[in-house]
Amino acid sequence: MSRTTRSKPQPYVEEAHTIKPRNVSFQWEEVPLHYIPDEPLATQFWNVMHLVIPIGERLMAGALSEALPFIADERLREEAIGFIGQETMHADSHEGYHEHLAAHGIDVEPVVRNASLMLQKILSDHGLKGRAKKEWLAERLAFYAAAEHFTAVVGQWLLDAEGLDEAQMHPMMLDLLRWHGAEEVEHRDVLFDVFQHVDGSYARRARWALLASAGLLGTWLVSLNHLMAQDPSRRWWKPWPLQIAGAVRRGLVPSLTIFATEIPVYLKPGFHPSSMGTLDSAIRYLATSPAARAAEQGA
């Protein structure tokens, strides 16, 4: 019996509007350190996104660029190119906040350096050639497809998170997170479909779903610990792990249980990201997002 199950490439026929990058821009001068007022834990939780996610997104865009010659379906290739543009814009937008965060006395360099070294060591192309290069590319695509499942789940959470509005989160930062989340939902099919088209091994899909879940959760917690240790409002008698439950209850951050509960969803035979629900909320938000509208008017 074969150790893997491969699906033959199928025509890309999913109904979807065009995936395209939006040339958004953000100004940080008036953003306070705790842009969710009186909520340092929730603020630093989302700061991990500013610091770590851009590294993964650039590597993801690079791997997808390597996969383009193997994508025979023109529609899927078009979607992949749009995906690369969106992920690059996400990375640029979040990286713009690093200097502003450092100006508030938060040393971001160790988080960025360590995450970059780890991801580069694990997920770079390692200079492989020939068949080994394509096999390793399939492994990387499997990892990124799994990671994109979790980012799509968080993206939908951000679109639905009324708690952030009730907490009076700084409007520009809220727009940044929701614009990013909406685009994650918008392009949630693409990397999964590319992986299925190029390789489709269920064994790879399962292996990297488990590794992606553990890796994302571990990186997020380690990075959050570093940021909370520097937060000027930190109090030793209020350990930040205990504060997470309160932030989840108030609707300020998603429950970390998603890194376990979403694994069976993703690994269900026949799963496709389009089964996660409609794109309506993402499309509606992108039509009203201040940053996205400004980008459209400036185009």
Residues 153-209: tens digit of each pLDDT = 999 999 999 999 999 999 999 999 999 999 999 999 999 999 999 999 999 999 999
pLDDT at 241: 83
**Percent of the chain having pLDDT more than 70?**
93
Helices (H) and strands (E) in the chain, counts: 13, 0
How much is the average pLDDT of 131-139? 96
CA 34 from centroid of its chain's CA atoms: 22
pLDDT at 240: 82
Q: Which residues of 137-149 are buried (b: 16+ CB within 10 A; e: fewer)?
A: bbbbbbbbbbbbb
pLDDT of 236 higher than 80: no
pLDDT of 10 higher than 70: no
pLDDT at 45: 96
pTM of the model: 0.92
Token couple for 63: 């791997």
Most distant CA pair in the chain, distance: 61
Residues 271-291: tens digit of each pLDDT = 999 999 889 999 999 999 999
